Structure 1
Amino acid sequence: MAVATEPLRGKALLSKLKETSALSKSEKAKACGYVTKTKDKERANLSEFIEAILEAQGLAVEPEQSGGRGRTPTYRVSVHTNGQIVIGKAYTEMMGLKPGDEFEIKLGYKHIKLVHVQSDEDSTNGES
């Protein structure tokens, strides 16, 4: 069994998987080049191998984050001990809100609805 020098990716990886369908997972990983060599043995890099397979099939294992900082939005908030509810920057950026934007709070049965209040400038610009 020939071991690839560089780990295979994309279509080459998928075709090699078809060729080696009778082998074990570790043997497939080694045949596709996902190997770490230590002093006296070779070990299959299974996690890298599985990630490469998923990527070749069009699935992103770790989607890119915008800006690379902060947490990803969970669409959940909690009431702080002082009674405030904070809506984070990620949500305000998604909605295109700016500092000073105003909202009307509408209380419903088990929900709170925030209705964006348009300023006089915004409403007159749209009506001509």
Structure 2
Amino acid sequence: MAVKSKEPLTGKELLAKVKDNDSLTKRELAKECGYYTVGKEGQTRVNLAEFYDALLVAKGIQLEPQKSADGRGREASYTLTVHKNGQIVIGGAYTQEMGLKTGDEFKIKLGYKHIHLVKLDAEGNEDQS
């Protein structure tokens, strides 16, 4: 069983430690900041992925979308597939995120290898909002 030696640094403490120790290698720096485990036989394993993730969080960079609060359902992937009948279905997650409602109308503009949907207002004009 691997044992963590000390609690890894996070946030401002992590950023300060990295700044103060810029002469160390990546592995040494990660270990110095507490991102390592010690195995049964005393071997040290540096957790670079955890270290880099903590650095990104400390700098306010989020690479993965937030999970839904209730933990149910699938996350929107922003990729679609053309069905056998030639149709493309845009799922409810996307329309909900855009605040679309039943009956909203769109104009389809075809481009070279892309489709652009333009929302129409109540009078059938392109929505300027």
TM-score between both structures, scaled by the size of structure 2: 0.68
Q: Secondary structure at the match of 1:43?
A: strand
User: Higher helix proportion, which one?
Assistant: 1
| 2:22 aligned with 1:18 | no
Note closer, same or farther for the CA distance 1:8–1:94 as it changes in structure 2 (3 Å cut): same
| 2:71 aligned with 1:71 | no
Percentage of identical aligned residues = 44
Whole-angstrom CA distance in 1 between matches of 2:117 and 2:9: 51
**Unaligned 5+ residue runs, structure 2?**
123-129
| 2:41 aligned with 1:37 | no
**Unaligned 5+ residue runs, structure 1?**
119-128
TM-score between both structures, scaled by the size of structure 1: 0.69
The match for 2:97 is 94
Describe the superposition over 1:13-42 as per-residue Cα deviations: whole angstroms up to 9, x where unpaired: 111112222211111111111111101211
Note closer, same or farther for the CA distance 1:63–1:92 as it changes in structure 2 (3 Å cut): closer
Contact in 2 for aligned 1:11/1:56 (Cα 8 Å): yes
In the TM superposition, residue 92 of structure 1 has moved relative to its aligned partner by 1.7
Contact in 2 for aligned 1:51/1:61 (Cα 8 Å): no
More displaced, 22-31 or 77-86? 77-86
Contact in 2 for aligned 1:73/1:90 (Cα 8 Å): no
Which of the residues 24, 38, 54 maps onto 1:52?
54
Tell me the C-alpha RMSD between the 2 structures.
2.8
